[in-house]
A and B are shown apart, each in its own frame.
Chain A
Amino acid sequence: MNRDRIGHVYPSYRYEVSREKVREYARATGVQGPAATAQSGPVTAPPTFAACFTIGGGSLFADPELGAHWNLVHGSQDYEFARPVRVGDVLECTPRIADIQPKGRMELLTLQIDCVDADSGEPVLTSRGTIVFFNAPDEEA
């Protein structure tokens, strides 16, 4: 991949945290309590609910200068919270290529996504995901 893209910042996108999506996620992962059941009132999302708006790599695959391909696995994921994610939040999420490192016949790309409260601008969470790209399709025999 193109290591000149290290540091590149992609356009921000907005994610609105809805009660029904939090409920669906909570039930899918066996979470009990308000996230799965509350019909009204404040609800805090499960920590890994952040997967719903930080996983997928859409920015990377829409970038013609990067050279990303689909021969990949998810290597690691790290969520650091300045405050919990809550139903009703509108988050503004900004992806950035933090690193691209060769490792043998693989390349490790770290995508950092900073998510802030769209109303106040206050930090909410930082996502750091490492994607392991195996040898690119055009390098295969």
Chain B
Amino acid sequence: MPRFDEVTVGTQLPTHAQTIDQGQLIVYAGASGDFNPLHWQEEFAAKVSPTGGIIAHGMYSMGLVSRVVTEWAGGPEKVKRLSASFRAPCPVGATLTIGGEVVAVDPASRTATLAVWAELEDGAKVVDRRSSRAVVALDE
């Protein structure tokens, strides 16, 4: 994990790419308790989905962002705040790329604020970097 003095505005987190499949969403539904059929039933999704098909839970993409931030920061206790703005839908079969970049550092609290994102290959913003943030505490 990085120390506070190793981090500057512009520091990039390692990115993580993941292709979303139906099995992951079913496992996530069970783990989180979010059983909205939009995320697993084709007939229902055809009626209500913005894509006409099954899409991932917004909170699943936020969960993947949380994991990338937590791994970089050195553990879940380092994460003081995490926000996600859900913009574009993520269809089954799409590949999400998760990333983050330091946009501010605060020496007084030894925290870094990151812009975080989850984007599709065509650039669609599933978690929108313009308004999604993490605040992490860093060691000296």
Contact = CB atoms under 8 A, between A and B. Distances in A.
B75 interface: yes
Give the interface SS of chain A, mostly helix, strand, loop or mixed: mixed
Nearest to A43: B76
A44 B32 CA distance: 17
Contacts of A29: 28, 31, 60, 63-64, 66-67
A38 interface: no
A99 B97 CA distance: 32
B3 interface: no
A55 B34 CA distance: 8
Nearest to B59: A51
A131 B114 CA distance: 24
B27 interface: yes
Given A56-B34, A71-B48, A46 B66 contact: yes
B76 A46 contact: yes
Nearest to A79: B82
Bin chain A's interface residue count: 20 to 34
Contact of B63 (A46, A71, A76): A46
Interface stretch (A4-12, A20-28, A101-109): A20-28
A78 B131 CA distance: 11
Given A31-B67, A44-B77, A76 B83 contact: yes
A48 B116 CA distance: 14
Most buried by B among A29, A56, A75: A29
A80 interface: yes
B83 A48 contact: no
Contacts, number: 99
B76 A76 contact: no
A78 B31 contact: no
B12 interface: no
Contacts of B33: 52, 55-56
B63 A48 contact: yes
Most buried by A among B31, B69, B75, B76: B76
23 contacts: A24-B31, A25-B31, A27-B31, A28-B31, A28-B32, A29-B31, A29-B60, A29-B63, A29-B66, A30-B18, A35-B76, A44-B75, A46-B63, A47-B76, A47-B82, A51-B34, A55-B32, A55-B34, A76-B84, A77-B62, A77-B84, A80-B80, A84-B77
Interface of A: 21, 24-25, 27-31, 33, 35, 44-48, 51-52, 55-56, 71, 73-81, 84
Given A44-B77, A47-B79, A51-B63, 20 more contacts: A27-B31, A28-B24, A29-B60, A29-B64, A30-B67, A46-B63, A46-B70, A47-B76, A47-B82, A48-B62, A51-B32, A51-B34, A73-B58, A73-B86, A74-B58, A75-B86, A77-B83, A77-B84, A78-B81, A81-B80
